[in-house]
């Protein structure tokens, strides 16, 4: 007896629009909570006005959707005319392991490489799969602070 073929819907990646603000904030806070991180009014203030913080400032904020629902995010924040930071690479827990996080990361990295000379990012040292992916794409650890690793890439 053959096993049934289960089709996994493809993620659709699009640039954030203001009408999705509430949904995106709710998604990000949900993922942070799943990972054991609480809301931080300083660290998470970028979500108060995503367009202003990212898009209008020379960056980008991507959302990954399946059937219209947000299942992932990825962003690039401009630091200065030559340097940016990749941020908010998140995928909803039940959609992990399917390459969606990698797709979002690669979209952000492509944007960063086109527009900037230096790309940075930071992540929690417990996120081993993410760390491996960053290193495979040319990022090196330049600093460590408690549980946070700081990476740099010069594309």
Matching CATH number, 12-118, of 3.40.50.720, 1.10.1660.10, 3.30.70.360, 3.40.630.30: 3.40.630.30
- The region of weakest confidence among 35-39, 60-64, 117-121 is 35-39
Specify the higher pLDDT residue, 121 or 41. 121
Residue 155 pLDDT class (50, 70, 90 cuts): confident
Please report which confidence band the pLDDT of residue 37 belongs to, taking 50, 70 and 90 as the band edges: confident
3-state class (DSSP) for residue 66: strand
- Burial of residue 133 (number of CB atoms within 10 Å: 0-12, 13-18, 19+): middle
Q: Where are the domains of the chain?
A: 12-118
What pTM was estimated for this model as a whole? 0.91
């Amino acid at each position: 007896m053959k096993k049934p073929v289960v089709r996994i819907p493809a993620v659709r990646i699009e640039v954030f629009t203001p009408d999705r603000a509430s949904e995106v904030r709710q998604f990000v806070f949900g993922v942070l909570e799943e990972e054991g991180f609480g809301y931080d009014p300083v660290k998470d203030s970028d979500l108060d006005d995503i367009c202003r913080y990212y898009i209008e400032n020379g960056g980008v904020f991507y959302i990954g959707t399946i059937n219209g629902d947000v299942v992932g995010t990825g962003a690039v924040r401009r630091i200065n005319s030559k340097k940016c930071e990749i941020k908010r690479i998140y995928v909803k827990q039940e959609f992990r392991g399917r390459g969606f996080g990698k797709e979002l990361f690669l979209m952000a990295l492509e944007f960063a490489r086109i527009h900037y000379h230096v790309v940075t990012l930071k992540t929690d040292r417990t996120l081993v799969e993410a760390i491996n992916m960053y290193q495979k794409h040319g990022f090196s650890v330049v600093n460590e602070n408690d549980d946070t690793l700081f990476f740099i890439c010069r594309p």
